[in-house]
Amino acid sequence: MLQDKNTELTPISKYGEFGLIKHLTENFGFANASTELSIGDDCAVIDAQGKKLVVTTDVLAEGVHFNLGYVPLKHLGYKAVVVNLSDIAAMNATPTQILVSLAVSNRFPVEALEEIYEGIALACKRYNVDLVGGDTTSSTSGLVMSITAMGLEDSDKIVKRSTAKVNDLLVVTGDLGGAYLGLQILEREHSVYLANPNMQPEMEGYDYILERQLKPEARTDIKKTLEELGVKPTSMIDISDGLSSEILHLSDQSKVGFRLYEDKIPMDSLTISTAEELNLNPVMCALNGGEDFELLFTISPEDFEKIRNHPDFSIIGHTVDLEQGNFLVARGSNELIALNAQGWDAFLNK
């Protein structure tokens, strides 16, 4: 995965903590005028330029959030950045800087960390963000990554979870469930490999859902699209833990209920066929799978005509009074099925 097995790998001890940071980050440049001071000093300096600074952070732990038996290190670095930028996009803000901290055990050579930082660099370039600092330390339990992302936006453009109103429309970008099905294929093939290392993995034909899991993208493009359409969401969240969980988050913060229509949930044909192959309900995969990193938001009913035929968006439901609760409207029968938070929870999903 790193290099030819006969190539001698470099122990981290050769560089030491500060030398390692310098080595891994020496090729990172600046893309944002708001970055005044970066790696090498006690703190980074960010000029907010009269805007609001939004900040988010995520920790990814080996064995909890990722399995290095099938997750390439370069993809891991890329995805670690994307999951944070998705949170910035969910605030309707523009991501500008990141901080990266790593805790690594001595089984990781310098070359392994270089691969992670290659993925980080690709994400920085793709999303026009600057790496401005972080930390490294040792670990006795594998690899742990913590990424903090920052973004800037005018105060009146920021969108919160707490501002949806009754009769708003519920909208989602892209399609759902693919990342979860990609994970199921990776887990299946990894189990086969552990049972018989001579067996070749059967990955052909699953490209789309594998990419949704291994190399997701943050929907930072949606902000511009909505501005061009003249639409400002009344509330917004990204889908990291599953559609059902995110709807319940919006409900809790905005004090409204939701009606979600089963036949309106967008799913790719490969997601549906793979779910059926694995004897899974594709709708349940979309509701509870998570890691799609699409945006879920509400809009005023007056904006319906502006987005109803747009290829990036699906209108999947609407808000109701909080007392009416949160329900899935079943396809065909109109039966109401209570929405439950069965998505990812790091303290329960082990």
Binding site: residue ranges? Answer: 42, 56-58, 65, 87, 117, 134-135, 161, 238, 240-241, 291, 344
Instruction: Name the one residue in this structure whose structure tokens are 């990812």.
Output: 344
Nearest CA to 55 out of 132, 125, 165, 126 is that of: 132
Binding-site residues from annotation for ATP: 117, 134-135, 161, 240
Q: How far apart are CA 305 and CA 202, in angstroms?
A: 44
Are 270 and 178 in contact by the 8 Å Cβ rule? The answer is: yes
Feature table: binding site for substrate: 65, 291, 344
Please give the annotated binding residues for Mg(2+), written as ranges: 42, 56-58, 87, 135, 238, 241
